[in-house]
Structure formats: structure tokens, C-alpha cells
Amino acid sequence: MTQVIAKKSLYESDYLHWTQETIAKLKARDFDNVDIENLIEEIEDLGRSYRDELESRLDVLLSHILKRLYVPLTNDYNGWERTIREQRKQIKRRLAKSPSLKNYLPEIFDEIWQDVLKEVREDYPQYEFPDLWQFDRDIDTLLNNIFWS
């Protein structure tokens, strides 16, 4: 009886080496020997990770804006405002590197808003939060307005 031993690809066994080898092949224009399937997968994952990062940062941003606006715990204001500034800074940096992410914002806003609203209502049941986002949704407003002034 013959036993079939599955040989792991370089991609599976040494990811860093696979990336270095892939880069070298691309630079040498050795396209016939590039691991196209895994390269495609990695590029798709990279795009997904950028969108995931935007979703995560928008979630934190909206959550802290809501808390700053509607939770009257003045001792927490400074921490919430610092978090808002940091999320805005990181979103701006990501958008500078990938401007097309701005087009993704309208797709995700409502879902993120509902998730954030549910969480802050669970965390602070004694306070009232609006059902709808009460401000403009454009990226400039989200990244620059001081909503509590």
C-alpha cells in the first residue's frame, strides 16, 4: 500500500520566506513561477484588512462620540476625547494611504451605528441615546467636528 504524503507549500510552511521569494520573482519578472493563487489571496486579504480597520476605528469613534455627548460623567470626558482624537488621526492616515476607503464608509455606517448604539445602551442603560445619528455622515464631519461644543 502506498502512502501519499502531502507536501506543504512554501506558503504554508514559511510565510515570510514565501513573501520574499514572491517579491524576488516579481522583480525578476519571473511571472511563470509566481504562486499566483496565494498571491491573489494575500492581496484580497490586504484589502479586507483595510476595510476591517476602518470599521473598527469607526466603531470606536462613534462609541466615544456618543458617550461624550450623552453620558454626563465629566471625569471621563478627557479620556473619551483623547480616544476620539486618536481614532480620527488613525482614520485620516488610513484614508491618506487608501482614499478609495471613503467610498466604503456609506456602506458600513448604518451597521456600525446600530452596533455602537446597542453597546452604549447596554453599558449605560440609565442614559438616553438617539436612535439616529444626528449629524452629517460625510467623512470630513466625522473627522473634524467637535460635536459637544
75-134 per-position pLDDT tens digit: 999 999 999 999 999 999 999 999 999 999 999 999 999 999 999 999 999 999 999 999
Nearest residue to 133 (alpha-carbon basis) of 125, 122, 123, 120? 120
- Half-sphere exposure in the Cβ direction for 85 (13 Å, CA): 6
20-41 per-position pLDDT tens digit: 999 999 999 999 999 999 999 9
pLDDT for residue 7 is more than 60: no
Residue with cell 494611504: 97
Angle of helix 36-70 relative to helix 74-97, nearest 10 degrees, comes to 150
39-80 per-position pLDDT tens digit: 999 999 988 999 999 999 999 999 999 999 999 999 999 999
Instruction: Write down the pTM of the prediction.
Output: 0.82
Angle of helix 105-123 relative to helix 36-70, nearest 10 degrees, comes to 50
